[in-house]
Structures are given as structure tokens and as C-alpha cells.
Structure 1
Amino acid sequence: MTTDRATVDGSEHPAGAAENVSGVEVKPVAGHIGAEITGVDLAGPLDDKVIALIRDAVLRWKVVFFRGQRLDHAGHIAFARRFGEPVLLPRRGPHSPPDFPEIETTADRLELAGRYGMERDEWLHRRRHTLLRGWHCDYGTRIDPPAATVLRADTVPPYGGDTTWANLAAAYAGLSAPVRAFVDGLRAEHRLGVGYQPRPGGDPYARRLLDEQVASVHPLVRVHPETGERVLFVNGYYVEQIVDLSRPESAALLEMLVEQAVRQEYTVRFRWEPGSVAFWDNRSTIHLAPSDHTHVGAPRIMHRVMLQGDVPVGVDGRPSEPIIGTEAGRW
């Protein structure tokens, strides 16, 4: 994903990379993040002008939505490849299609019920013990987190199951100048399984976390490689500790920054329908998977393709550093 840059109101936003395309419309749906794109059939042939328009919209609005699409697995992968190379995960969920290694399928209750010797509700309770815990970017513990994600809805419950995204560039810009200057030079450890509360007397999930641990030190503020924006690279799911700060200082600052990132004005919430597609910039957003639909009793089956990303770079030009398990291809 590449584009030109232009400075607008003191910050850099993608501009001038895409031409208007007849019949295609980009309609913003919230003040800082999210746009719906209409007039595009993702399963059909897409010329370069349409691809440039979509790329420009993703960089500008961070997440874009398409409704009523008829993508199958092959079409999903073909569309994603127009924007980058898919990530191939060595470990996928049990419901992922075996003949399409680029796709990871999540099936909520079907996939998690009984997993690791716990029912879904207990497992999520042990993972998400704070209100901010579920917010994350995809595979943020990797040394090279995915650049983008294309998520397609297969089966959704009749109500509930919405996903929410937050704009991390807007969150950074909304900090006061002294706080921005302070966090610009900080780095944080992102670690798999942060804050998980193990079951007493042995816990298969805790053992997996130890055996397959992944951790990296990323800049707390990363410079977006395409737009030049400064991004508050923080979330409640993976961030373990701000480097060189005491634990009390780190905990207080992280809570403040994550709360800043997910302020309502920086977020957008999407109601899924069968055939809906969301395409987001994983470098400048975090998202929150739903937990309000499991009592409905209907499945929520989603298919995901992620695009390969680069190593984050901070304001000072220093790249992220691997700690453990972040060699290429492991996660």
C-alpha cells in the first residue's frame, strides 16, 4: 500500500493518489474514522483506478466497509493481493479452510467452546479482566505486525456482534503537546498473553503461552510508513510494560494512553451483515471484537486475510526490536 502525501492542517494525510471513479462513492461514517464504499463489486475485475481509490480511502479513513459482496475464498484472496502479500500463519483456527492457507476463519463459540479445557466465557474472562483489555491490533507482538486486514462476514447473528475500531493517529494528535513530546521517545514491550490469569492447578493455555511466546519492543509512537502520520501504537491486549519506566509509572501511563485511544470520538462501530467486508489499516488502528452476541445462540463466522507489514519505526528513526519468538514465519 503506497500513496503520495500532502500536509493538511499541520498533519500528513494521503492525498492525490486516486482519481474519482464514476459510480464509486466513498462516504465517511464517523468524524475521525470509517467510510463506506459503494458501487464496487469486489468479486469482479477491478481496474487500477478503483484499487487506487480504495487504497487512498483506507489510508485516509483507516477502515472502509463494503456491503452486499459475493466473495468466496479465492476471490477474497485475489482482492487482498491487489494491496500486498498475504500473511501465511503456521497455526490457524480449526475451522480455517485447509486449501486456502491465506485465510483464517473464526467461528466464535463453535471454535472456542471447550478449548484449553475451558468454556468460552471462562477463557475470555481470564483473558479480558479489564474493560480495556480486548482492544488490539492484529498480531501486534510480531516484529512486523500485519499492515492491513481484510475481514469478510459469512454468517452473523440476527443482532449483536458488531466490531469497533479506533483511529490511533487521531488519538495521538488529540494529546496535549507536552504529552506528545514525552511519549515520542518511549518504547513498550508487546507480549503474547499479557495479563492472562491462569487457572489454579494447571492451565493448558498458560503452558501454550510459555511454549510459544512472542514478544517485541515497539516504539510507543510509530511513524506510519506511507502517510507520515505519528501513531499512538498502544493497546490493552498486548502491551506489557513501557521500557525504562517503573511498573506503577508504566501502568498509569498505559491506562491513560489506551483510554485516550478509544475515546468515543476516535471510534467507529460496524454492524455486520452476510457479505459485508471491512478493510482496515492495522498500523494505525486498534479494534475490539464483540462479546454481546454469544447468548443469542447463533454462530458468527468470519474469514480474515492479513497483509504483510514492515518493522515499526519510531519518531527517532529507531526500528522495533525482537525479544522472543518473532522470527519470520512463527506467528
Structure 2
Amino acid sequence: MTTVPGSALGLDAEPLAGYIGATITGVDLRENLDDVVIAEIRQALHQYKVIFFRDQQIGHAEQVAFARRFGKVTPAHPHEENPPEGFPEILPIDSRRYEQNLGRKRTSYDNSWHTDVTALVNPPAASILRSDILPPYGGDTTWTNLVAAYENLPKELRDFADTLDIKHQFNTQATAGSQRERKVAEANLAAYHPAVRVHPVTGERALFVSPGFTRGPREIRGFSPTQSERILALLWEEATRTEYTVRFRWQPGSVAFWDNRATSHLAVSDAGHLGHERVLYRVTLEGDIPRGVDGRESELVSGQPFYGS
């Protein structure tokens, strides 16, 4: 067990991998935590990129209240029409809904590497996910450290990536004529983001690629679809190298809190085919408009920014 640097209260953090991830202990998320504890959790988040809490007995109200200590909480999702009653901020990650909306059994909507909702011009700053119904085994989630991925690129490749702008948009993956397909078309979210973004708090540079939001014709500004495909494939391979990742096994009472500006994640698709159900609940914090290393901002292509309250 280690102590978060600069921690006044000695917040305990157990690192889980060499580049990313730590379990935080000694915190009860049901409590109204004081500002010092919140500041230490925020510091741990910036240091480890994703932090985990175990054995937490919280529901929707406590999850939303905890999230509000770190910023404005957004509505559940730009495409969500049926959040839990009374909790418009909560997005169910529910295998039962995916079977209904997508026509096939799966434990997560998006089983590819992605950073949350990067089709927005202001993607969420962070996400908080808590477990509810879990399979007896399988259904883990993996995160990767996009800062480490960038910092370990050869300088020539870093310099090249610094100049790129990538188009992010939604691909429905939904049944034709379904509510999901209609919502995606109505929102029509798309944005150009710098391939390398500067973190607004830490100043770190992160490789900002999100395969889940660049399906279909690949598009890097100034390059053909074929060229874009090959460049992105190289960047994705670097971003998801095993040494930059941490894999988390969900248990009852588990909560994950990740910096969406410095990570991508992957829901491991190894439980749905067994018929197991998996239900988790997510909230997201309002994000800023990403900036590249030269100060250029992401550009809105279509849709609207996503604000919290």
C-alpha cells in the first residue's frame, strides 16, 4: 500500500499495474466526504488515470452525489431516453437492454476500445461506473494510459501525431428502425479532435484516439481514407499496448472512476455468449473542448455540445 503524494490524510492507494490503475481504500462513498478527501481522490485520479473502490454500498443517489463533488454531472447520454426513474444522470450498462436494442446477446454496448462519447466536441472529463448485477466470471473491463502511450512513442512519431486532427462520430450498430438508430441519427454527433490533446489540469499530453468512434470511413484531415486507416491502426496499436493497461475484475460493491481525458477502455466480451447478465451504472462529468499541443481546439462538425448541471 502506498500513500498518494501530498496527501494530508494519508489516502491509501494500491497501484495495480506499472502505468495505470490503483485501488483506493479507507473511503466510504456513502459519506459526505470533506474537501480534503475529495482533493486527494482527484489527485489520485490524475496520477493513476483510473482508480477503484471496493465494497461500496451505494445506489443511484449516492453515486450522483459523489460525482457532483468533482464537477457538473451530465445527463446520462446524448442518446439515452430511458434512464432510471428520477435519475436522469444515470446510464444503465445493461446486457438485457443491448439484447433488445441490438438484437444479440452482449454484456456491453461497445466492445471495442474507446474513450467515452468522443463524437461530442466536449467529451466527458471523467466517468464513474458502479457494479450491480455481475456474471459469476468474465465481464472484466480494461483501461489503457494514453499519456504513457504518447510519451513512449519515438520523437518523430510524437511530432507527426501532434499535427493530426481525427474525425470522431457515432456508428449506430443498432437494429434498423430501432429507437437507438433514430436517436443516433437525430443527434448526429461528429467532431474533429487533435490526435494529441493537452490535459487541462496536469498539462500532460495524451494520444487521443478512440477506435469505437471512428468506425466507417476513417478520416484524418488532409489524408485519404486508406491513408487514415493505416495511420490510425498504428496509433491504436501503440495506445493499447499491454504494458499500458490494467484489467479490473468487477465484484459486488465495485466502483471505477476514470479520467476520460487520459484513458481509453475496453469491456471484455467474454460473458454474454454464456447467457450471463451484467448490469452496471455510469455517470459522466461535463468535459472541456480538447486542445492540441499548439493550442488549437477541437471543431464541432454536427450536433451540440453536452453540458451538465
- TM-score, length-scaled by structure 2: 0.90
**Partner residue of 1:30 out of 3, 8, 17:** 17
Distance 1:93 1:207, change over 3 A: closer
Return the alpha-carbon distance in structure 2 between the equivalents of residues 180 and 80 of structure 1. Answer: 34
How many residue pairs get aligned? The number is: 299
Give the letter for the 2:80 counterpart. R
Task: Show structure 1 runs of 5+ residues with no match.
Answer: 1-14, 129-133
- 1:172 matched to 2:147? The reply is no
Give the letter for the 1:114 counterpart. Q
- 1:276 matched to 2:262? The reply is no
Return the alpha-carbon distance in structure 2 between the equivalents of residues 91 and 187 of structure 1. Answer: 25
Q: Which residue of 2 aligns with 1:60?
A: 47
Return the alpha-carbon distance in structure 2 between the equivalents of residues 208 and 54 of structure 1. Answer: 35
Amino-acid identity (%): 46
Return the alpha-carbon distance in structure 2 between the equivalents of residues 303 and 270 of structure 1. Answer: 16
Return the alpha-carbon distance in structure 2 between the equivalents of residues 207 and 51 of structure 1. Answer: 39
Task: Show structure 2 runs of 5+ residues with no match.
Answer: none
Structure 1 SS opposite 2:212: coil
Return the alpha-carbon distance in structure 1 between the equivalents of residues 15 and 284 of structure 2. Answer: 23
Q: Which residue of 1 aligns with 2:105?
A: 120
Q: Which residue of 2 aligns with 1:285?
A: 263
Distance 1:93 1:261, change over 3 A: farther
Distance 1:256 1:90, change over 3 A: closer
Q: What are the equivalent positions in structure 2 for 1:18-167 lying under 5 Å apart?
A: 18-22=6-10, 24-88=11-75, 89=77, 91-92=79-80, 94=82, 96-108=83-95, 110-115=96-101, 118-120=103-105, 134-167=112-145
**What displacement does 1:120 show?**
3.5
**What displacement does 1:325 show?**
1.1
Return the alpha-carbon distance in structure 2 between the equivalents of residues 259 and 316 of structure 1. Answer: 25
- Alignment root-mean-square deviation, CA: 2.3
Return the alpha-carbon distance in structure 2 between the equivalents of residues 64 and 104 of structure 1. Answer: 20
Return the alpha-carbon distance in structure 2 between the equivalents of residues 296 and 56 of structure 1. Answer: 39
Structure 1 SS opposite 2:42: helix
Give the letter for the 1:213 counterpart. N
Q: Which residue of 2 aligns with 1:3?
A: none
* 1:167 and 1:284 in contact (8 A); partners too: yes
Structure 1 stretches of 4+ with a deviation exceeding 2 A read 89-94, 118-121, 202-212, 295-298, 326-330
